[in-house]
C-alpha cells in the first residue's frame, strides 16, 4: 500500500493531466477539486504514518559498466514539506487561472504535468532519476510561458529554455563526472561521499541557474513579467525550488570550509544585487521577481553556514518562500486585472479607503519582509542564527541587514498604494472572487506556518546533525 501511495504522488498528476485534455471548463473545475483532495489526503496519510522514519521504494532500473541505477523514490525529512508545497502551488494556480485563461484544457494538463515531474524531482532517490525528472519539468514550464502571457512571452520562454538547458549541460557533465570518478557504491551512497571540486562546481552552476543565483538569474525577470500571473505563481512558488532542492540534496550537503565560504560569498553577492535592483522597480511583478532572488540567496547562505540550524533554515526557506511568492504573484495579477496596470506610478493611491485591500496587501508585504507570525520569519531566523553559530556573527549580519532593506521597498510600495486618493478605479471585487479566494488561502497558509511552525520544523530536526 505504501509503495503504491508513494508512486501515486507523481503518477497521479501525470494521469490527471492526460484526463484534463478531454474535459470542458466546468468538468475541469470538478476534476481539479477531486484530484487536489485525493492527493492532499494521500500526503496527509503518508505524513501521519511515516513522518518519523520516512518511506522508500526501490526497483532495479539498469546496470552499465558495474554501475547499477534504480527506480528509487523516497519520502524523507527534507522533502515532506516540498511535496505538499507542490500540491498547494499547482492547484492554487489551477483554480486561480481556470476561469479566465484561454485554452483551459491545455493549460490544466501542463500544470498537472509540471506537478508530476516536480514531485519526481523531490522524491527521486537516485541521482540519474533525479536528472530525468528535473529535465522533464522544463517541457511543460516552457510551454506554459510560451502559451500564456504578454506579447514578449515567446522571447521570455526561449530565454528560459536556453538558460535551463545550458545549466542542464553543466549538471549532466558534473553528475557523470562524479559517478565515473567514484565507484559503484557511490550511486546508492551518494551523500556518504564528498564530491570532488570539478563535479561540485559544475553541478552548482547547473542547478544555480534554476534557483537562481546572480549572475545566472537574467532569465527570471522577463519570464515572470511576460508569463501569465498563474504561470508566475508556478515559476516562483515551485520551479525555483527544484534548483534549490537539488543543490541542497545532491551537491551542497556537506561543504568543506572553502566551499562553505564560496556559498556564503555567492549568497551575499546575490542578496545585495537583488535588493539593489528591487529598490528601483516600479513594476510590481519585477519587484516581486527580484525579491525572489534575494530570498533564494538565503538558501546559499544557510547551506554555507556550516551548522545544522543554517541547513535546516535553507530547506525551510524553500517551503515558506514558495507559499509567500505564489501569493504575491497571485495578488499582482489580481491588481492588474482590476486596474489594467502593474505600475506603481499609475497605481498610486489605488487602495486609499479600501480597508480589506489594505489588510490583504499588508499581510502579503509583511510576509515577504519576514515579520514574526508569518512563514518567512521562521526560515530567516534559522538561517541568520545558523550562519552566526557556524560561521561567525559578522557573517550573520549579511542576511540580517537585508531585512530592513526589504522592508523599505515593500513599505514604500504600500505607502504609494494606500497613501492618497487617486483617479484609478478598481473593478468590482465580486468579478474576481475566485482569484481573491486563492490569495486569501495562500495568506492563511503563510500565517498558519508562521504561527505554528512545529509540524515542519520537527521534520527537519535531524537534518545536518
Q: How far is CA 100 from CA 17, 97, 254, 290, 441, in A?
A: 19, 6, 46, 27, 19
Q: Nearest 5 degrees, angle CA 201-CA 205-CA 206?
A: 115
HSE-CB at 240 with a 13 A cutoff on CA atoms is 38
Torsion of CA 256, 258, 263, 269, to 10 degrees: 170
Note the pLDDT tens digit of each residue in 266-275: 999 999 999 9
Position 431 scores a pLDDT of: 66
Closest CA to 150 of 288, 285, 348, 281: 285
- Region label for 66, one of left (φ > 0), alpha (ψ between -120 and 50) or beta (otherwise): left
State residue 428's pLDDT score: 65
Predicted pLDDT of residue 423: 62
Which of 19-33, 196-210, 423-437 comes out lowest in average pLDDT? 423-437
The pLDDT of residue 92 is above 70? yes
Q: How far is residue 31's CA from residue 328's CA, in Å, rounded to a whole number?
A: 26
SS3 track for 81-106: HHHHHHHHHHHHHHHHHCCCCCCHHH
Position 98 pLDDT exceeds 90 = no
Give the global pTM.
0.93
Could you give the CA distance from residue 188 to residue 286 in angstroms, rounded to a whole number? Answer: 42
Q: Cα(422)–Cα(307) distance, rounded to whole angstroms?
A: 50
Q: In the chain, what are the domain boundaries?
A: 255-465
Q: Which residues pair with 70 in a beta bridge?
A: 60
- Over residues 211-234, the mean pLDDT reads 89
Q: How open is the CA angle 90-399-170, to the nearest 5 degrees? A: 60
If pLDDT is split at 50, 70 and 90, which confidence band does 159 have? very high
Given a cut of 80, whether residue 7 has pLDDT beyond it is yes
Q: What is the mean pLDDT of the chain?
A: 90
Could you report how far apart the first and last alpha carbons of the chain are, in Å?
Answer: 31
Give pLDDT, residue 69: 82
Give the cell for residue 148.
500564456
C-alpha cell at 12: 497521479
| Contact call for residues 210 and 164 (beta carbons, < 8 A) | yes
Contact predicate 294/278, CB 8 Å: yes
Cell numbers placing 26: 466546468
Where are any strands of DSSP class E within 147-253?
none
- Which of 372, 383, 368, 400 has its CA nearest to residue 278? 368
Q: At what angle do helices 25-50 and 104-123 cross, to 10 degrees?
A: 10
- Span 107-122, average pLDDT: 96
pLDDT at residue 370 is higher than 80: yes
User: In the predicted model, is pLDDT for residue 169 greater than 90?
Assistant: yes
Confidence of residue 183 (pLDDT cuts 50, 70, 90): low
**Peptide bond before residue 52 is cis, with ω within 30 degrees of 0:** no
The percent of residues above 90 in pLDDT, for the chain, comes to 67
Q: In this structure, what C-alpha cell is assigned to residue 157?
A: 520562454
Neighbours of 118 (CB within 10 A): 31
Question: Would the pLDDT of 465 be above 70?
Answer: no
Strand partners, 343: 283
Least confident of 245-249, 363-367, 400-404, 423-427: 423-427
Tens of pLDDT, residues 135-153: 999 999 999 999 998 888 8
Total Cβ atoms within 10 A of residue 55? 18
CA of 114: how far to CAs of 105, 139, 143, in Å?
14, 8, 10
Please give the radius of gyration of the chain, using alpha carbons only, rounded to the nearest integer: 21
Lowest mean pLDDT among 26-30, 63-67, 230-234: 63-67
Residue-wise burial string across 389-428, b where 16 or more C-beta atoms lie within 10 A, e elsewhere: bbbeeebbebbbebbebbbebbeebbebbbeeeeebeeee
- CB-based contact 141:239 (threshold 8 Å): yes
Residue 45: how many CB atoms within 10 A of its CB? Answer: 13
- pLDDT grade for 90, boundaries at 50, 70 and 90: very high
Amino acid at each position: 500500500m505504501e509503495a503504491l501511495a508513494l508512486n501515486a504522488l507523481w503518477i497521479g498528476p501525470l494521469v490527471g493531466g492526460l484526463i484534463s485534455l478531454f474535459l470542458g471548463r466546468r468538468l475541469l473545475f470538478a476534476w481539479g477539486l477531486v484530484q487536489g483532495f485525493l492527493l492532499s489526503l494521500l500526503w496527509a496519510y503518508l505524513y501521519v504514518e511515516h513522518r518519523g522514519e520516512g518511506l522508500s521504494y526501490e526497483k532495479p532500473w539498469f546496470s552499465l559498466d558495474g554501475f547499477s541505477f534504480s527506480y528509487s523514490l523516497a519520502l524523507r525529512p527534507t522533502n515532506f514539506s516540498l511535496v505538499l508545497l507542490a500540491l498547494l502551488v499547482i492547484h492554487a494556480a489551477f483554480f486561480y487561472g481556470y476561469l479566465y485563461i484561454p485554452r483551459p484544457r491545455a493549460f490544466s494538463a501542463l500544470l498537472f504535468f509540471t506537478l508530476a515531474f516536480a514531485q519526481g524531482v523531490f522524491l527521486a532517490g537516485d541521482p540519474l532519476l533525479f536528472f530525468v525528472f528535473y529535465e522533464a519539468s522544463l517541457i511543460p514550464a516552457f510551454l506554459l510561458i510560451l502559451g500564456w502571457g504578454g506579447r514578449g512571452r515567446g522571447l521570455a520562454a526561449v530565454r528560459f529554455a536556453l538558460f535551463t538547458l545550458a545549466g542542464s549541460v553543466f549538471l549532466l557533465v558534473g553528475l557523470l563526472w562524479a559517478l565515473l570518478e567514484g565507484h559503484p557504491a557511490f550511486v546508492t551512497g551518494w551523500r556518504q561521499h564528498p564530491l570532488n571540486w570539478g563535479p561540485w562546481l559544475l553541478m552548482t552552476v547547473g542547478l544555480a541557474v534554476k534557483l537562481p543565483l546572480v549572475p545566472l538569474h537574467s532569465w527570471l525577470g522577463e519570464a515572470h513579467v511576460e508569463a501569465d500571473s498563474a504561470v508566475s505563481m508556478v515559476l516562483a512558488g515551485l520551479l525555483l525550488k527544484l534548483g534549490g532542492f537539488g543543490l541542497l540534496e545532491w551537491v551542497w550537503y556537506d561543504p568543506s570550509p572553502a566551499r562553505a565560504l564560496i556559498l556564503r560569498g555567492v549568497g551575499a553577492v546575490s542578496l545585495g544585487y537583488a535588493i539593489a535592483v528591487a529598490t528601483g522597480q516600479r513594476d510590481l511583478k519585477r519587484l516581486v521577481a527580484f525579491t525572489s532572488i534575494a530570498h533564494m540567496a538565503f538558501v546559499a547562505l544557510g547551506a554555507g553556514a556550516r551548522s545544522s540550524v543554517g541547513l535546516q533554515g535553507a530547506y525551510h526557506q524553500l517551503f515558506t518562500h514558495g507559499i509567500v511568492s505564489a501569493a504575491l504573484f497571485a495578488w499582482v495579477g489580481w491588481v492588474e486585472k482590476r486596474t489594467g496596470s502593474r505600475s506603481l506610478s499609475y497605481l498610486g493611491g489605488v487602495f486609499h479607503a479600501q480597508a480589506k485591500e489594505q489588510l490583504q496587501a499588508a499581510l502579503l508585504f509583511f510576509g515577504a519582509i519576514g515579520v514574526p507570525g508569518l512563514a518567512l520569519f521562521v526560515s530567516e531566523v534559522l538561517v541568520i542564527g545558523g550562519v552566526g553559530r557556524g560561521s561567525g556573527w559578522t557573517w550573520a549580519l549579511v542576511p540580517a541587514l537585508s531585512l530592513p532593506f526589504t522592508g523599505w521597498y515593500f513599505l514604500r510600495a504600500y505607502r504609494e498604494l494606500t497613501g492618497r486618493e487617486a483617479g484609478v478605479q478598481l473593478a468590482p471585487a465580486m468579478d474576481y472572487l475566485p482569484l481573491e479566494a486563492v490569495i486569501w488561502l495562500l495568506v492563511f497558509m503563510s500565517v498558519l506556518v508562521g504561527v505554528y511552525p512545529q509540524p515542519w520544523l520537527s521534520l527537519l530536526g535531524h537534518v545536518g546533525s
